[in-house]
Amino acid sequence: MSSVLRPYPKPAPRQPKGWKPLPRVNPERKAKRYQAAFGDKGEWVRQQRCVCTGRFTGQWVNDSKLGMVQVEVVAAHATSRGAGGDSRDLIPLADHLHKWAHGVGGSHPALGRRFGLDLKELAKDFEARWQQIVARAEQVSGR
């Protein structure tokens, strides 16, 4: 065996692969989760009166802490999505109250106590009304 170094050709330089950043959001998954969380019912809920103030979107209400506030009704989950809430748990709620419920010192149970409401029962009532609307629509379309 000889200890002579034999020249070997250098390997061809590799072309680096183009680095493509991963998208921050998977659009298909986001659409699927939105559909599960809100669905068609979300639009209908946003057209209803706020369960706490009784106002529609665009009307004004005098809040005890904020003064005069223009109401924007949002589709809020009575059971949070992290706790398994989905479109069955939607209730119409004024945006400023929804933000208060998710802010410091607020919660959905505290919001219910503030207005003397059981939000989960209201969610069940809205789900029953929604199912009636869907059933009527299916009868009309002849499915």
pLDDT band at 143 (very low <50, low <70, confident <90, very high): low
What's the average model confidence in pLDDT over 7-20? 81
State the total domains in the chain.
1
pLDDT digits (tens, 9 = 90+) for 36-47: 888 889 999 999
pLDDT band at 92 (very low <50, low <70, confident <90, very high): very high
Residue 4 belongs to some domain of the structure: no
Q: Which domain holds residue 71?
A: 27-141
Q: Given this model, what pLDDT does residue 5 score? A: 73
Which phi and psi angles does 75 have, rounded to 5°? -90, 105
What's the average model confidence in pLDDT over 98-115? 85
Percentage of the chain lying above the pLDDT 70 cut: 97
Residue 12 belongs to some domain of the structure: no
Residue 74 belongs to some domain of the structure: yes
Task: Give me the helices (H) in 38-107, please.
Answer: 39-46, 95-102
80 DSSP assignment: -
Q: Given this model, what pLDDT does residue 127 score? A: 93
Query: Residue 99 has which token pair?
Result: 């933000």
Residue 76 belongs to some domain of the structure: yes
- Does 129 or 87 have the greater pLDDT score? 129
Q: Which of 15-29, 92-106, 119-133 has the highest mean pLDDT?
A: 119-133
Inter-residue contact 83 to 89 (CB < 8 Å): no
Is residue 99 scored above 70 in pLDDT?
Answer: yes
Residue 17 belongs to some domain of the structure: no
Q: What is the pTM of this model?
A: 0.73
- Give the per-residue SS3 of 3-54: CCCCCCCCCCCCCCCCCCCCCCCCHHHHHHHHHHHCHHHHHHHHCCCCCCCC
Residue 19 belongs to some domain of the structure: no
Residue 14 belongs to some domain of the structure: no
Q: How far apart are CA 99 and CA 106, in angstroms?
A: 9
